[in-house]
Structure 1
Amino acid sequence: MGKFYLLLFFVFIFISARAQDNNGPRITALGNAGVALQDVWSVKSNQAGIAGLKRAFLAAGYENKFGVKGLSNQSAVFSIPVKDYALGASFNSYGVSDYNEIKTGLTLARSFGPKLFLAIGLNYHQLKITDYGSAKAVSVDVGVQYQAFPNLWLASHISNPNQSKYDNNTDQIIPAHIQFGANYIFSDQLLITTEVEKILDAQADFKAGLEYKLVKFVALRGGISVNPFKQYAGFGVNYQRINIDFAVSSHPVLGYSPQVALGYEF
């Protein structure tokens, strides 16, 4: 019986946090307002963003959720440009031994000139609960980014528009949501990014983040989201072709979640 209540506790945590996938430390530190950014982690937040990358990129990250021992989020992303196209892949494992969610994704993005990026992603989901079996599902993502002005990018992303669900072995659902956002680049040192996200059957959330480069290879980041109110902070070091990013998010009830990622640009 004790194990059953422990499992219910973890399920509560997962339900509280699952609506938001792990988008990597850079985007997390910016309040998870990443729909209009071009980054290797865009393969998870808005796949259209990888169409703006000029080199192949590989990154892996680790997050400790809410300071709970053993409760982790492990991610890896990869993108490679091929002429006007970009191919991307992602992997995410979230949970503990008794409750685990795995999500893998493949992405095809295309640039229509330097101002318009489109992408479609296919995701495979697997949910496993000890003594309760496992379930699988497939979902689709669609994303777009458009450079409206030299320093302003507008973007939109739709996740799981067909409202795909796990099979009949579980009542767990895959959230369907839509995002709109903008990214304004004030200078080589400063950018501000914003996003509005609406999850089906939930209130809309507004997010905003700021990135400031102290020097060419060191950036400080901060952000907020309002529903519920959460705060984010982090930094990044980009030295030659190696990227190190760190972020921490603060949930008003569940506490702090630090994460770190290491990336390499080929």
Structure 2
Amino acid sequence: MTKIKVKSTVLTGWQKTLLIGGFYLLVCSGVRASGEPFPIGARSWGLANATAAMADKQSVFNNPAGVGFLTENFVHTAYHSRFNLAGLQTFALGANYVHRLVNTGITVERFGDKLYHEQKLGLVFAKSIDRVALGIKVSYSQAVVENLSSKHTFVTEFGVISKLSPKVQLGFNAYNLTRAQLYISQRIPTVLRLGLAFQPSGQLLLVAEAEKDLDFPTLIKMGLEYQLVRNFYIRTGLTSKINDVHLGFGIKAKQFFFDYAMSNHSMLGFSQHFTLAYQLNKTKPDTKL
């Protein structure tokens, strides 16, 4: 009777080990690492995530400096389904508040399933002075492996965006400069991003970005957004990864915004991204860049 109990315990342990090992195999394939800055928002994914120089409602997730240029208040939610694999979904909720002293924002993110999941709660503070906006974000990050471990830490993020001209913006974003970590064997990635946004007309937006994870080669990203008809936008983007393509569209209906994007991974297949946003007040036009 004792032997049966021991075998059952060992089997359960191996099941957990295999499942967790499978997750980390996906991590090594480039799906994600613990605490990494996963881009949030379908507009961002439609533009290949070249958003370091953009100031829009998704800036609370992608570059806190962009919040400093916002003139309207938004609430929005996002859902990301990667490769049609259970346990690789991300849910996010964000909002910003514009104030004459300092603009603020809040974000909530959850990735994973019951076996393994990560959660983030972030606060953003940003301020624009003339043509320059500065922003900082502090996030409480937690990773949980069911019945095995639960780790947490604080991650800081810094950003700056400069309006070089009415049509050109330059942006920089630094994630986890303090080299925080959730697990001893795996640090949270430190990622530096430098981007440029160029809007030659009211209908066309071009973006480009260089992203440097300190542990990986530099990644180049480029995106294009075009207003096909009033309140309807189409997007596409490419990265320096072979066969990495991004497509998407956006619709604006009064104070509501809906964005959809599809992206692919050369080994794991397609992912889908959805965003729904609501503009709380409508006194000024939405920031385009």
TM-score, normalised by the number of residues in structure 1: 0.95
Unaligned runs of 5+ in 2: 1-13, 281-289
Please name the residue that 2:148 is paired with.
132
Which residue of 107, 111, 114 maps to 1:90?
Answer: 107
RMSD: 1.4
State the secondary structure of the residue aligned to 1:93.
strand
Counterparts of 1:30 and 1:90 in 2: how far apart (Å)?
21
Query: Where does 1:236-255 land on structure 2 (aligned, <5 Å)?
Result: 236-255=250-269
Which residue of 107, 110, 123 maps to 2:124?
Answer: 107
State the secondary structure of the residue aligned to 2:20.
helix
Counterparts of 1:48 and 1:186 in 2: how far apart (Å)?
22
Question: Does 15-24 or 40-49 show the bigger shift?
Answer: 15-24
Alpha-carbon distance, 1:103 to partner:
1.4
Matched residue type, 1:24? G
State the secondary structure of the residue aligned to 2:182.
coil
Alpha-carbon distance, 1:150 to partner:
1.8
Please name the residue that 2:198 is paired with.
184
State the secondary structure of the residue aligned to 1:43.
helix
Please give the per-residue CA displacement for 1:163-190, whole angstroms capped at 9, x wherever unaligned.
Answer: 11126xx533211011101000011100
Counterparts of 1:2 and 1:73 in 2: how far apart (Å)?
24
Question: Does 238-247 or 63-72 show the bigger shift?
Answer: 63-72
Please give the per-residue CA displacement for 1:138-168, whole angstroms capped at 9, x wherever unaligned.
Answer: 111110000112200001011111111126x
Matched residue type, 2:121? T
Q: Which runs of 4+ in 1 moved over 3 A?
A: none
Please name the residue that 1:57 is paired with.
74
Please name the residue that 2:43 is paired with.
26
Counterparts of 1:237 and 1:59 in 2: how far apart (Å)?
14
CA distance 1:85–1:30, shift in 2 (3 Å): same
Residues 84 and 112 of structure 1 are in contact (CA less than 8 Å); yes or no, is this contact kept in structure 2? no
Please name the residue that 2:57 is paired with.
40
Residues 22 and 75 of structure 1 are in contact (CA less than 8 Å); yes or no, is this contact kept in structure 2? no
Residues 226 and 234 of structure 2 are in contact (CA less than 8 Å); yes or no, is this contact kept in structure 1? yes
CA distance 1:228–1:21, shift in 2 (3 Å): farther
Alpha-carbon distance, 1:17 to partner:
2.2
Are residues 1:9 and 2:26 paired? no
Residues 37 and 175 of structure 2 are in contact (CA less than 8 Å); yes or no, is this contact kept in structure 1? no
Residues 42 and 248 of structure 2 are in contact (CA less than 8 Å); yes or no, is this contact kept in structure 1? yes
Matched residue type, 2:151? A
Please give the per-residue CA displacement for 1:206-238, whole angstroms capped at 9, x wherever unaligned.
Answer: 001000011221100010111465111111101
TM-score, normalised by the number of residues in structure 2: 0.87
Counterparts of 1:229 and 1:125 in 2: how far apart (Å)?
32
Question: Does 184-193 or 61-70 show the bigger shift?
Answer: 61-70
